[in-house]
Structure 1
Amino acid sequence: MKPVCSYAATHATSLADPAGFWLAQARHLAWHRPPTGALSQDEANGAHRWFADGTLNTSYLCLDHHVAQGRGPQAALIFDSPVTQTLSTYTYAQLLNLTARFAGGLRKLGVEMGDRVIIYMPNLPEAVIAMLACARLGAIHSVVFGGFAPHELAVRIDDAQPKIIVCASGGMEFDRIIPYKPLVDEAIEKAKHKPAHVVVHQRRFVTAEMQSGRDIEFFKMYWNEPVPAVPVPATHPLYILYTSGTTGRPKGVVRDHGGHAVALRFSMEAIYDLDPGDVIFTGSDIGWAVGSSYIVYGPLLRGCTSVLFEGKPVRTPDAGTFWRLVAQHRVNVLFTAPTAIRAIKKEDPEGLLAKNYDLRSLRHLFLAGERCDPATFAWSQQVLGVPVVDHWWQTESGWPMLATLVGLAAMGPPRAGSAGFPVPGFDVQVLDEAGQPVPAGTTGLVAVRLPLPPGCFPALWQDEARYRAYHDVFPGYYLSGDGGYRDADGYCYIMGRTDDVINVAGHRLSTGEMEEILAAHPAVAECAVLGIADALRGQVPVGLVVLKDGQTVGEGPLERELVAAVRARIGALACFRQVLVVQRLPKTRSGKILRKTLRQLADGEAFALPATIDDPRILDEIRADLQRRGVGQAFEPGPPA
């Protein structure tokens, strides 16, 4: 495939005439009622809305439309689970039939347009079917990552107030079985809101206990008559996806049907250069924005084949698993996180396992989730022999904001350490603290000029105040919360968060929430949790605690108790494993803990001594404590900021 449209011209047009540009893109979809206009504003809160007078249905676009176009026999979904030794293929026609019948089952349970359904499952075809079935009815689904502890699930139950929960009896990793149903039962017990029913997919390796009158076997949902897709307004919510907030309270990012469908279809063509019938393997989880957008909706909207993988990049059975998937399923685009590549590199540093597979079908490797360090970028390119594209986006955006768009012509090649160039529709700026653009090469705050293009979040679920906070700091901009810079050639670099949300192997986690857990321990007077650089996971949290006077608890026992507390509240995915007892924490004269300075200290970065620090000698004490425990390591150097 040879791109014919110029990136520069496309991006310029999208900013000069956003309404016209996106209305033209919307015409590629099969609307029930096509929109007559593109961009409007909500009278209540001034938020931008896309295609407000159009009606459509995402499930129809993903399934019915392709079957009507003759793609019924084509593979829509390939499920590959080495942990359960399962391989199955679902054609577009089969997926449509199962989705329509499951939607009929949901309707029989009382689910209607606007109702919420929580899906708590690993990467399974049944999870995809449940998502598409909700969309079919105009119900709003919320996929919750299966690694979350009952407390976190309970918080989401109370926020979304679902009528139904759909779950699996359990998940499997290479060394253990994780029963899910007991976690769901405990979460429902903790939650104030009680869903009417729990639909349970029983897996052969773990059987869930069923509560009479409430719980329903998943397979029985297929016994219902298929139902047609319900036309919904383009602005109607498709799903809620929770992401960590700096207060520890999760934020429910809302995605709509219309803008989401237009943006993802465009991205599949312009960013990933995929045509109907092409194959994409996204090594992510459907509980993440990446999985929702590029395992499920993006590929199906474009008429592609999506590989749904249950397993890990290593030890299922080895570090060649991803390469086996590419070869076996003739994958054209592989999309995963730098963490996964680093894990593969750790176990197979020379990339020898890749030589065992025919990877000629692969055209590009895309990376996102956290910054790809230059060493990982170079290793991937050398081992795979294809262009490696690091690109940047967030749960809030729903699709990439920076990328090398391989489907458009006249783009510069991917550059190590850079997330590329602004995607059409995104006017990305780097600002100083006063909201003014900074010169090339200067690090600042990454923001996007409004209006945001289709596909971005139009709201947070029932949280207007926190939604406005994204735009209040710099009026007329969306503030991303990330810092970065643009070089003299226009390449953009994202260097990390500017708040206390850290990125652990692609999971955005709140250090504030972890601090709350540590501070609840009876021996702890005050604490700070730092996200320090980790070569495998991007960042890992480390706790610094100051004990109350008179406490004699040893550092080892206290560390075990606090690690267990974080694991119980947040889950093992937090990778919280180290706690240091320190005599005091560095603060400003007003009492604010200097967390950024502590992180820079732990990472071995140069930093200016804050003018407001109360006692600079504390930093030497902390440095000694970090050295005593061997905590802290810096990434290999990237491009200079």
Structure 2
Amino acid sequence: MNAPTTYAAARAASLTDPAAFWAAQAGQIAWFEEPPQPVLSQDEGTGFYRWFRGGRLNTSFLCLDYHVQNGRAEQTALIYDSPVTQTVRRYTYQQLLDLTARFAGGLRELGVAYGDRVILYMPNLPEAVVAMLACARLGAVHSVVFGGFAPHELAVRIDDARPRVIICASAGLEFDRVIPYKPLVDDAIGKAQHKPEHVVVLQRSFCLAELNPSHSAASERAPRDVDYQQLLQAAPVEAVPVEATDPLYILYTSGTTGKPKGVVRDNGGHAVALKYSMSAIYGVEPGETFFAGSDIGWAVGHSYIVYGPLLHGCTTVLFEGKPVRTPDAGTFWRLIHDHNVRVTFTAPTAIRAIKKEDPEGLLSRQYDLSCLCYLFLAGERCDPATYEWAGQLLGVPVIDHWWQTESGWPMLATMVGLSDMPPPRAGSAGHPVPGYDVQILDEAGLPVPAGTTGLVAVKLPLPPGCLPTLWQDDARFQSSYLDTFPGYYFTGDGGYQDAEGYFYIMGRVDDVINVAGHRLSTGEIEELLAAHPAVAECAVLGIACALRGQRPVGLVVLKDGQQMEEEQLEKELISLIREQIGAVACFRQAAVVKRLPKTRSGKILRKTLRQLADGEEFVLPSTIDDPAILEEIQLVLEARCLGQAFENRLSS
């Protein structure tokens, strides 16, 4: 079956006979043992869908060995560009393979084997990419934890994944500070019930970590702490064939209960989907350069810094730094110029930050950007003003598209690799990617008319690459995603489809907020605020933020008799969230209120509070116990200039 080259044909084929459509795409990758027919099946007991059962492959082999064996050994695979350390390093496919095979050998000597878990706690470094690929080479399951998370959050993930080894850098570096990582890892291990056998430490010259020479209780193979470079002295190992349905990695995303959900990505579906997406969605060809301005701790970093470009035979740019202040708001434009980037993918937050510091885009004029063909945006909805600004500045199509950690690759997009695709439109995430039957439903699970806002769901089966379940928690996978609308995956987002078929995603409908691409649980933040001895109860709102999409603001009710100064309380609450969750939460404001609006059954009206803060119109809930409470809170929000509505009023 030849792959359809038009969007209409590809989408129709993927929905009419998904097994046949994806079987054809599976032919684009090299299998050790090709999957039998049918390529789509369901697990006994749970009924969860699985792709390519019976197929055997290795993702590290597909990213490295395959290209070395087929003429790309001397092509640049990875460009590491770090303005914070003023370093640029290039690795060919052969060099990256050699490093990965030897590091995998070192991990094997530490006891890491097929099915074991390994946690990575590292910045955007080539050594982190090598570690991810080395885990995949062994059939081990990696879980990358974003380096900004606090020890408590890391400890939760250690106890859930139960890794044999943790791999960390000695420190991270930002333009104005050094962040030692090893003490945070040691603190997390101390808090966790599960104790990894080894910690592999990449020493960075500007901040050397102290290594623990003692042996762990579980292993006498080596000291508990091992230098990263020591593992590179091992003999190289070949790629281990794994089942297509075996997990490649676990990536944790916030849940509404405060306990993170371990999204599982399998090997077979992941490789097929990402390989397809590179040409069909992003329009890049093998040998061209792709730059995703993200972090390897995010789904974007997994899919489009590491795996997608390497599966496709591209050159990928790994950037250590920020879009601004490293050294300035022109750093992305320099990257595009220096490395001949064809496609760039980043978050609207990054473009807004650049626009804030260089509103006229003057820094872009220092560079020849004629190599750039497309700018893709995702992570949170891109506002039309930012969309138009970027398009006018760069003179290329700006494409806002939508996906989730759970999906692993885009669900809605303007697919530049297919013909007859409707053009991108400001405010819209585009049209459904082949394989995704995206629908807007009402609360009863029925489709709503065009232009009507509803709940975004995807009819089952999901295409390859999406999560098959959660790590060791089938019941939570069922309740979180499948129970709301039987026969559908519920995304947790709200949105609408217009009369011309364009989809608009308006944001989360639960209490998970999106702060500059980080999905954070307001319930978890509330739990921490409520632990303060002066706080009786609280509510955390994800209010609109021009830079980060959303940011959390706390409303707290003091315990009776508390005379604590509000300024001091706010400082302590900010410090508490920074310690327990990390700076990524961007929690910087808390206000004391006399009481919180609730329904008669005692449920806090968080949505109403957020609408009030954002200046949105809302219908007063009929179940509210005392409408006057909202007036009191509005006065507090206005006095403190908390919320987009009051910020706008002040600026005008």
Asked whether the two chains share a fold, i.e. TM above 0.5, the reply is: yes
Report the residue type matching 2:548 in the other structure.
Answer: R
Deviation readout 1:441-490 (Å, 9 max, x if unpaired): 00000000000000000110111121001101110000000000000100
Aligned partners of 1:448, 1:336: CA distance in 2, in Å?
Answer: 25
Q: What residue is the counterpart of 1:56 in the other structure?
A: 57
Deviation readout 1:528-552 (Å, 9 max, x if unpaired): 0000000000000000001111111
Aligned partners of 1:123, 1:467: CA distance in 2, in Å?
Answer: 30
Q: What residue is the counterpart of 1:439 in the other structure?
A: 449
Contact (CA 8 Å) 1:35, 1:51: kept in 2 or not?
Answer: yes
1:534 aligns with 2:534: no
Q: CA deviation at 1:4?
A: 7.9
1:398 aligns with 2:408: yes
Aligned partners of 1:401, 1:450: CA distance in 2, in Å?
Answer: 13
Aligned partners of 1:296, 1:217: CA distance in 2, in Å?
Answer: 23
1:410-421 alignment runs, 5 A limit: 410-421=420-431
Q: What residue is the counterpart of 2:164 in the other structure?
A: 163
Deviation readout 1:5-27 (Å, 9 max, x if unpaired): 11011001100000000000000
Aligned partners of 1:496, 1:466: CA distance in 2, in Å?
Answer: 22
Q: CA deviation at 1:635?
A: 12
Contact (CA 8 Å) 1:533, 1:634: kept in 2 or not?
Answer: no
Q: What residue is the counterpart of 1:312 in the other structure?
A: 322
Q: What residue is the counterpart of 1:377 in the other structure?
A: 387
Q: 1:567 aligns with which of 575, 578, 582?
A: 578
1:13 aligns with 2:13: yes
Aligned partners of 2:646, 2:16: CA distance in 1, in Å?
Answer: 39
Q: What residue is the counterpart of 1:191 in the other structure?
A: 192
Q: 1:589 aligns with which of 600, 605, 616?
A: 600
Q: What residue is the counterpart of 2:33 in the other structure?
A: 33
Q: When the two structures are superposed, what TM-score results if normalisation uses the length of structure 1?
A: 0.98
1:269-348 alignment runs, 5 A limit: 269-348=279-358
1:445-460 alignment runs, 5 A limit: 445-460=455-470
Contact (CA 8 Å) 2:637, 2:646: kept in 1 or not?
Answer: no
Contact (CA 8 Å) 2:4, 2:10: kept in 1 or not?
Answer: no
Deviation readout 1:508-531 (Å, 9 max, x if unpaired): 000000000011111111100000
Aligned partners of 1:162, 1:586: CA distance in 2, in Å?
Answer: 43
Report the residue type matching 1:65 in the other structure.
Answer: Y
Deviation readout 1:166-188 (Å, 9 max, x if unpaired): 00000100000000000001001
Deviation readout 1:59-104 (Å, 9 max, x if unpaired): 0000000000010000000000000011000000000000000000
CA pair 547-635 structure 1, distance change in 2 beyond 3 A = closer
Q: CA deviation at 1:44?
A: 2.7
Q: CA RMSD in A?
A: 1.1
CA pair 610-522 structure 1, distance change in 2 beyond 3 A = same
Aligned partner of residue 111 in structure 2, secondary structure: coil
Q: What residue is the counterpart of 1:239 in the other structure?
A: 249
Aligned partner of residue 460 in structure 1, secondary structure: coil
Q: 2:271 aligns with which of 240, 250, 261?
A: 261
Q: CA deviation at 1:634?
A: 5.3
Aligned partner of residue 96 in structure 1, secondary structure: helix
Aligned partners of 1:527, 1:370: CA distance in 2, in Å?
Answer: 26
Aligned partners of 1:4, 1:484: CA distance in 2, in Å?
Answer: 29
Q: What residue is the counterpart of 1:617 in the other structure?
A: 628
Report the residue type matching 2:403 in the other structure.
Answer: W
Aligned partners of 1:619, 1:8: CA distance in 2, in Å?
Answer: 49
Q: Report the count of equivalent residues.
A: 635
Contact (CA 8 Å) 2:249, 2:265: kept in 1 or not?
Answer: yes
Contact (CA 8 Å) 2:613, 2:646: kept in 1 or not?
Answer: no
Aligned partners of 1:82, 1:282: CA distance in 2, in Å?
Answer: 16
Structure 1 unaligned regions, length at least 5:
none
Report the residue type matching 1:582 in the other structure.
Answer: V
Deviation readout 1:386-429 (Å, 9 max, x if unpaired): 00000000000000000000000101111000000000000000
Deviation readout 1:563-602 (Å, 9 max, x if unpaired): 1101100001100010010011111111100000000000
Contact (CA 8 Å) 1:144, 1:287: kept in 2 or not?
Answer: yes
Q: 1:219 aligns with which of 210, 224, 229?
A: 229
Q: 1:361 aligns with which of 347, 363, 371?
A: 371
Aligned partners of 2:590, 2:172: CA distance in 1, in Å?
Answer: 30
Aligned partner of residue 429 in structure 1, secondary structure: strand
Q: CA deviation at 1:636?
A: 12
Aligned partners of 1:405, 1:361: CA distance in 2, in Å?
Answer: 19
Q: 1:513 aligns with which of 524, 536, 559?
A: 524
Aligned partners of 1:9, 1:76: CA distance in 2, in Å?
Answer: 33
Aligned partners of 1:307, 1:194: CA distance in 2, in Å?
Answer: 34
CA pair 445-149 structure 1, distance change in 2 beyond 3 A = same
Contact (CA 8 Å) 1:319, 1:347: kept in 2 or not?
Answer: yes
Aligned partners of 1:388, 1:591: CA distance in 2, in Å?
Answer: 45
Aligned partners of 1:493, 1:344: CA distance in 2, in Å?
Answer: 24
Contact (CA 8 Å) 1:531, 1:539: kept in 2 or not?
Answer: yes
Structure 1 stretches of at least 4 aligned residues deviating more than 4 Å after TM superposition:
634-637
1:447-486 alignment runs, 5 A limit: 447-469=457-479, 470-486=481-497
Report the residue type matching 1:117 in the other structure.
Answer: V
Report the residue type matching 2:450 in the other structure.
Answer: A
Report the residue type matching 1:126 in the other structure.
Answer: E
Aligned partner of residue 489 in structure 2, secondary structure: strand
Contact (CA 8 Å) 2:595, 2:629: kept in 1 or not?
Answer: yes
Q: CA deviation at 1:283?
A: 0.4
Aligned partners of 1:570, 1:378: CA distance in 2, in Å?
Answer: 34
Contact (CA 8 Å) 2:244, 2:269: kept in 1 or not?
Answer: yes
Q: What residue is the counterpart of 1:82 in the other structure?
A: 83
Contact (CA 8 Å) 2:526, 2:538: kept in 1 or not?
Answer: yes
1:422 aligns with 2:432: yes
Aligned partners of 1:571, 1:110: CA distance in 2, in Å?
Answer: 32
Q: When the two structures are superposed, what TM-score results if normalisation uses the length of structure 2?
A: 0.97
Contact (CA 8 Å) 2:52, 2:268: kept in 1 or not?
Answer: yes
Contact (CA 8 Å) 2:34, 2:55: kept in 1 or not?
Answer: yes
Contact (CA 8 Å) 1:4, 1:409: kept in 2 or not?
Answer: no
Aligned partners of 1:635, 1:181: CA distance in 2, in Å?
Answer: 42
Aligned partners of 2:462, 2:148: CA distance in 1, in Å?
Answer: 31
Identical amino acids, percent of aligned pairs: 74
Aligned partners of 1:538, 1:390: CA distance in 2, in Å?
Answer: 14
Aligned partners of 1:33, 1:636: CA distance in 2, in Å?
Answer: 59
Q: What residue is the counterpart of 1:578 in the other structure?
A: 589
Report the residue type matching 1:540 in the other structure.
Answer: R
Q: What residue is the counterpart of 1:598 in the other structure?
A: 609
Contact (CA 8 Å) 1:122, 1:310: kept in 2 or not?
Answer: yes
Q: What residue is the counterpart of 1:557 in the other structure?
A: 568
Aligned partners of 1:560, 1:636: CA distance in 2, in Å?
Answer: 21
Contact (CA 8 Å) 2:638, 2:646: kept in 1 or not?
Answer: no
1:144 aligns with 2:154: no
Aligned partners of 2:362, 2:242: CA distance in 1, in Å?
Answer: 51
Contact (CA 8 Å) 1:402, 1:422: kept in 2 or not?
Answer: yes
Aligned partners of 2:376, 2:647: CA distance in 1, in Å?
Answer: 21
Aligned partner of residue 644 in structure 2, secondary structure: coil
Aligned partners of 1:249, 1:87: CA distance in 2, in Å?
Answer: 38
Aligned partners of 2:631, 2:427: CA distance in 1, in Å?
Answer: 32
Structure 2 unaligned regions, length at least 5:
214-222
Aligned partners of 2:344, 2:57: CA distance in 1, in Å?
Answer: 30
Q: What residue is the counterpart of 2:106 in the other structure?
A: 105
Aligned partner of residue 494 in structure 2, secondary structure: strand
Aligned partner of residue 71 in structure 2, secondary structure: helix
Q: What residue is the counterpart of 1:500 in the other structure?
A: 511
Aligned partners of 1:125, 1:636: CA distance in 2, in Å?
Answer: 41
Aligned partners of 1:354, 1:577: CA distance in 2, in Å?
Answer: 32
1:349 aligns with 2:390: no
Q: What residue is the counterpart of 2:219 in the other structure?
A: none
Aligned partner of residue 34 in structure 1, secondary structure: coil
Q: CA deviation at 1:554?
A: 1.2
